[in-house]
Chain A
């Protein structure tokens, strides 16, 4: 654990106060029976407050691993990473982020409101504040009226929205999402992408978003990180020139297609290695 002085040191050393996540030469090597697997190799990246960053790449490129390192669910084996100027562990302990997994992972024995309330119960909020926050985020994800339903009574898309509400219920300013819409059909996915952008605009959170869909990455992001496998590394970082206001129709504009093209090129370049 860092002492307060050390935290101050780290903050002071931080070049820009607006950098929320800074990775420098980050590596993670898993030891398996077949030898070493380089899940991440020499990954350097900085993410600023309010960014919507997508991580895209084929499976095994380390995009999920990077998110998990950020969330202190994996420990890096090399390099440095800070979240809000402190280590991921410190950030996790100060509840700096909400994490949305690929599967909604709602507790079947809790109602939707009960699931959204879960982090609040753990963090010891008062009863009245819990009720207030739950109703606020339920409205934010457009699930008002479903509080007393059980997860199996909701569609997959609604369940995923509930899991986003759960991640928003407490005051984490970073939202980490690991292929949250990967298991949903395209129509539901479009709808949720639109809602997610609106939500991002309203809350001003920093979002890390893992996907393997090029249109999804380009549509949502202010910054697209293209990754490639074996070893997992960054091949391109694209700052999106698209405006913040993005109707679904923007996906047919030349600017959109140009960025999508560059992402595709980056992905292809990564594959040329093997």
Chain B
């Protein structure tokens, strides 16, 4: 059974085809990277899983159930592109608010746990607006983790972040999968991040070009690295 299974997904915005028959398969417990340039349909796919965007066609399942559905949402964590936090609340208050939305039991303990996991102890009582961009992303990840979701959707979580902070965030993604046993779907256009994934999917113009382990994809087209492999898949 797959954590996410999509078949023939289609979505149009006016004349633009954001998803054009996308097929995707994400296995339980893995970090799956959806790799493609801006406008390739990555965000649209994530939003369709959450019901923020309505699909025109196709079949979509998550955690063994048809998606999107309201019942499914409590098992999914979502980190949007923007930090998507309340800037005039403190770190703790943000985490508590999102925890309440999910009806997290023993919320205070869980907030402590997440603050510990993301090493936010020193900033916990600071307003989010006063935090650095990297720190805001960490809180944003915390808000996505607060209800211990089985599936974590990270939409370009590292865009515009310097390489050091990106490496640090990846460390947290790994910890989340290990300590919470979550499956992660992450979208990015950074090839160095693709290497960190268990499996990746190359997406372009709303279609899946190839799916597999990074090294398989590189070998499959006789490329030197992932970047070259992507270009080769694009050229067909």
Is B truly associated with A? no
